[in-house]
């Protein structure tokens, strides 16, 4: 039987796979304590504080490249912030400590705490702008869908590749007025449209999870969320194409300062995540991908998915936290 040899430099990366679970778990618990309070900012801040504290314990020399905002706003976990205890490898980090602040504030399904990590210089440094996205799950020939093709063509081509009628295709989009024409065009093909109010990191990942019944993700969402989703698809397979929406001089300037030379560039997964990566997400409220945090008398339970692109391993980790509950730790 062939054995898998672990190189010394891979050892730390494998350890970090488990360590980043702690990071998203703690962010999720802190946000979940504020579920349903109608307090978006407070829940987000609680998740940010917890994530930052846990990140700073890790043996990494990390730079936040996708974070809570740009440096002039100087929030915590801003783009460019250094995290980690500096004793380990130089890494790029993308975070969304509370993806779906509104979902959490209203205690609606699908809020998560999420992170991606990769070797320094390999994650796209994207400004906090919109991004046009298209994504499908694994198992299709490359190029079967295209960001620049009409939505209806993409649905028809995907149906053909899947060997089904368009009626058997389900597309997922953010429920926004800007998508009205696209939704109408997709429905005209006979395909079903599923709408989400927020949370398109999970939305994109759903295309790679057969149990969700989602075949394709389409539309305009946040760029930070796009890079996080690309990291997940790099681990589990699937195709994704994206383009930043840089529709003003000011946005193009901000992007240029982050090293983006071509504002119209169409990004593939390999352009957004240029090497091996780790991805983790913990449920804050229950959704199709993850269960939300549950609080009982002695135990807090979390549900996390963690992925490693080097091997494509996906772990689902249900954790019981006793100390956190006993001492009411954040
Ligand atoms: C999406 C969604 C996020 O922002 O990226 C969306 O995944 C895009 O922005 O959860 P608009 O809300 O302006 O459409 C979120 O909803 C987070 O704010």
- Measured from the CA of 226, which atom of ligand 1 is nearest? 5
Q: What's the CA gap between 301 and 309, in Å, rounded?
A: 26
The CA-atom distances, in angstroms, between 226 and each of 85, 191, 269 are 28, 24, 10
Q: Which of 2-6, 88-92, 226-230 has the lowest mean pLDDT?
A: 2-6
Closest C-alpha to ligand 1, atom 1? 221
Range 260-274 average pLDDT? 97
Q: Which residues pair with 273 in a beta bridge?
A: 123
| pLDDT above 90: residue 324 | no
- pLDDT, one tens digit per residue, over 112-171 is 999 999 999 999 999 999 999 999 999 999 999 999 999 999 999 999 999 999 999 999
CA of 25 to the centre of ligand 1 (A): 22
What mean pLDDT comes out for the span 25-38? 98
pLDDT at residue 9, rounded to an integer: 66
Q: For the chain, which residues make up each domain, given as ranges?
A: 8-123+277-326, 130-272
Cα of 239 from ligand 1 centre, angstroms = 21
Structure confidence at residue 328 (pLDDT) = 77
Ligand 1 site, CB within 6 A = 99-100, 174, 176, 198-200, 221-222, 225
Per-residue model confidence (pLDDT) at position 311: 94
The alpha-helical segments, DSSP class H, found in the chain are 8-32, 40-55, 101-105, 151-162, 180-188, 200-206, 223-236, 249-257, 269-272, 323-326
pLDDT of 40 strictly over 60: yes
**What average pLDDT does this structure show over 34-46?**
96
* 160 CA to centre of ligand 1 in angstroms: 31
Query: Over pLDDT 70: what percentage of the chain?
Result: 96
CATH class of the domain defined by 130-272: alpha beta
The protein residue whose alpha carbon is closest to atom 6 in ligand 1 is: 221
pLDDT value, residue 151: 98
Per-residue confidence band for 21, with pLDDT thresholds at 50, 70 and 90:
very high
| Residue 4's pLDDT band (cuts 50, 70, 90) | low
Query: How far, in Å, from the CA of 222 to the mean position of ligand 1?
Result: 6
Is the pLDDT reported for residue 1 higher than 60? no
- Would you say residue 8 has pLDDT above 60? no
Going by the DSSP 8-state scheme, the letter that residue 75 receives in this structure is -
pLDDT of residue 75: 75
Instruction: Out of 31, 47, 102, 198, give the residue to mutate to test ligand 1, the one with the largest number of ligand atoms within 8 Å of its CB.
Output: 198
Instruction: Give one DSSP letter per residue of 23-52, joined into a string.
Output: HHHHHHHHHHTTTTSS-HHHHHHHHHHHHH
Residue 5 has pLDDT above 90, yes or no: no
Q: Which of 20-34, 61-75, 190-204, 261-275 has the lowest mean pLDDT?
A: 61-75
Tell me, yes or no, if the two domains 8-123+277-326 and 130-272 fold the same way.
no
d(CA 136, CA 162) in angstroms, rounded, equals 11
State whether residue 266 is helix, strand or coil: coil
| Span 47-106, pLDDT tens digits | 999 999 999 999 999 999 999 887 767 678 999 999 999 999 999 999 999 999 999 999
Q: Are strands 61-66 and 82-83 parallel, antiparallel or unpaired?
A: antiparallel
Give the lowest-confidence range in 9-18, 24-33, 225-234.
Answer: 9-18
DSSP run (H or E) holding 202: helix 200-206
DSSP 92: E
Residue 213, both tokens: 């019944």
Q: Which CATH code is given to the segment(s) 8-123+277-326?
A: 3.30.540.10
| pLDDT of the residue at 39 | 96
């Amino acid at each position: 039987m062939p054995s898998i040899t672990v190189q010394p430099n891979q050892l730390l990366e494998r350890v970090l796979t488990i360590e980043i679970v702690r990071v998203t778990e703690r962010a999720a618990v802190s946000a979940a304590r504020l579920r349903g309070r109608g307090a978006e900012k407070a829940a987000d801040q609680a998740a940010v504080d917890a994530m930052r504290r846990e990140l700073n314990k890790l043996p990494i020399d990390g730079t936040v490249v996708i974070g809570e905002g740009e440096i002039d706003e100087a929030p915590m976990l801003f783009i460019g912030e250094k995290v980690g205890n500096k004793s380990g490898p130089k890494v790029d980090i993308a975070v969304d400590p509370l993806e779906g602040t509104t979902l959490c504030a209203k205690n609606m399904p699908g809020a998560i705490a999420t992170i991606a990590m990769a070797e320094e210089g390999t994650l796209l440094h994207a400004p906090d702008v919109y991004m046009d996205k298209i994504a499908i799950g694994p198992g299709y020939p490359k190029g079967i869908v295209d960001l620049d093709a009409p939505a209806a063509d993409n649905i028809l081509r995907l149906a053909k590749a899947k060997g089904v009628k368009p009626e058997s295709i389900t597309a997922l989009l953010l429920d926004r007025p800007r998508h009205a024409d696209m939704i109408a065009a997709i429905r005209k093909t006979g395909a079903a449209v599923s709408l989400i109010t927020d949370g398109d990191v999970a939305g994109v990942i759903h295309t790679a999870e057969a149990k969700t019944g989602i075949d394709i993700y389409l539309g305009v969402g946040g760029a930070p969320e796009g890079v996080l989703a690309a990291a997940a698809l790099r681990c589990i397979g699937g195709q994704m194409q994206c383009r930043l929406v840089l529709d003003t001089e000011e946005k193009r300037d901000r992007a240029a300062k982050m090293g983006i030379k071509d504002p119209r560039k169409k990004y593939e997964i390999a352009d957004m995540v240029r090497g091996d990566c780790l991805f983790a997400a913990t449920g804050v409220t229950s959704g199709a991908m993850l269960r939300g945090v549950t609080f009982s008398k002695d135990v807090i339970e979390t549900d996390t998915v963690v992925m490693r692109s080097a091997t494509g391993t996906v772990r689902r980790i249900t954790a019981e936290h006793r100390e956190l509950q006993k001492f009411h730790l954040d």
